[in-house]
Structure 1
């Protein structure tokens, strides 16, 4: 996340020079700010994680019932599109409830000690992010980048849920139907594919959060 946003951090005077890669980012962060700084923003992430997962699955089931496509009745491709749509709609709906926590997590994780301000941080913690953002930009400031985030989550969750629900009954047949390894590899492959497809959008949305 820091490497994604280092250009914005340099512009804001919070980073003196770009990181050369993951190893350099780890080494410099630990050297300049200590090991605990690697977990900065994790409180917001933990608070956000559980309701996000619960809402995703609840909304996915709701939208699947709403679209109500059946493979035998409507054909494979219409059923497949319904799975993608229900996954994407579930992701976008859950994002509305937890987006401000994702915004706060991003700001805290990228809140390096300022290179030009004597090592000061911009925020003192989660509550301080909310307070300062609302003071400067109003409630809308907590939803900066929300539109592009909706597109990203629709792409990611649509592929994540939709592809798994659609490919599982086609790929995991016969001897692989009860195979843990086959299920794991299918889920792993779909997760990587969904992440690769949505990553460029994630980069843009996080940079919008930082501006």
Structure 2
């Protein structure tokens, strides 16, 4: 059981549904931010993302499911743990630790699944083989710093905003409320938290995806300098629209469904 009596099955169900919805949106964001289809229009980009081949679809959806469920579940557990022991800053420390842990474990899948979306790559297995042959096993964790800079703040922001908004829950104060008020609050909370996490981390997403490109050897600073030289400061907004959709949709769906399933549990 997690905080407020939420079983881990609720988190997995919510996260799994969000992952299925998110897969094509995630592909479109990767294609735009990585520059794999630089001349494609937005319509062509989404058309490509929603059509086969769906490279690594089962593995990617599975990875998204366990990772997002793990972050929210462990964050709830850690917040309860810190609260019981009077640890200051537990509301921030809990999502920080949970998202960092999950990001480290999931890094090989994240990098190879992004590489696999390149038009010249045939499958997820081929991308894994290429990375290991060219960079060794540790190459699977290349870009971890950029990945942490993107993922950890995203979930920390989303969870902190979610927790803050929960203080204004219409059920608080002992007053009777209509069902529509409760669900409207759930939707508003989920959307606000998800959008806040997505917008603030778009530049880190771009840096991470650039570092994941085959043959790229630069670190975070070197990658940022190259982007600055090639595109000026315009690179900061590259793919922000597709990223906003691909990031905020699954996070928002997960937050809403966890609340909704808990209410109906």
TM-score computed with the length of structure 1 as normaliser:
0.61
- Shift in Å, 1:134: 1.8
Task: Give the Cα–Cα distance (whole angstroms) in 2 for the partners of residues 63 and 139 of structure 1.
Answer: 33
- Shift in Å, 1:74: 4.2
Task: Give the Cα–Cα distance (whole angstroms) in 2 for the partners of residues 157 and 81 of structure 1.
Answer: 17
Task: Give the Cα–Cα distance (whole angstroms) in 2 for the partners of residues 126 and 29 of structure 1.
Answer: 18
Q: Any unmatched runs of 5+ in structure 2?
A: 1-113
CA contact (8 A) 1:83 1:158 kept: no
Asked if 1:147 is matched to 2:247, the reply is: no
User: In the alignment, which residue of structure 1 is the partner of 2:25?
Assistant: none
Larger Rg belongs to: 1
Task: Give the Cα–Cα distance (whole angstroms) in 1 for the partners of residues 170 and 233 of structure 2.
Answer: 38
- 1:33 aligns with one of 118, 122, 135: 135
User: In the alignment, which residue of structure 2 is the partner of 1:14?
Assistant: none
Asked if 1:54 is matched to 2:120, the reply is: no
Q: Any unmatched runs of 5+ in structure 1?
A: 11-17, 114-120, 172-211
CA contact (8 A) 2:170 2:181 kept: yes
Task: Give the Cα–Cα distance (whole angstroms) in 1 for the partners of residues 241 and 167 of structure 2.
Answer: 26
Task: Give the Cα–Cα distance (whole angstroms) in 1 for the partners of residues 126 and 250 of structure 2.
Answer: 29
Over 3 Å counting, the alpha-carbon distance change for 1:27 and 1:63 in structure 2 is same
Equivalent residues, number: 150
User: In the alignment, which residue of structure 2 is the partner of 1:170?
Assistant: 264
Task: Give the Cα–Cα distance (whole angstroms) in 1 for the partners of residues 249 and 176 of structure 2.
Answer: 26
User: In the alignment, which residue of structure 2 is the partner of 1:117?
Assistant: none
CA contact (8 A) 2:116 2:126 kept: no
- Shift in Å, 1:63: 4.0
TM-score computed with the length of structure 2 as normaliser:
0.50
CA contact (8 A) 1:104 1:129 kept: yes
Alignment of 1:11-22 (within 5 A): 18-19=121-122, 21-22=123-124
Task: Give the Cα–Cα distance (whole angstroms) in 2 for the partners of residues 166 and 108 of structure 1.
Answer: 38
The CA RMSD measured in Å over matched residues stands at 2.4
Deviations 1:21-62 (A, max 9, x none): 222322232123322221121111123333322211121234
CA contact (8 A) 1:88 1:153 kept: no
User: In the alignment, which residue of structure 2 is the partner of 1:94?
Assistant: 197
- Shift in Å, 1:100: 1.3
Asked if 1:103 is matched to 2:103, the reply is: no
CA contact (8 A) 1:88 1:156 kept: no
CA contact (8 A) 1:84 1:163 kept: no
- Shift in Å, 1:64: 4.5
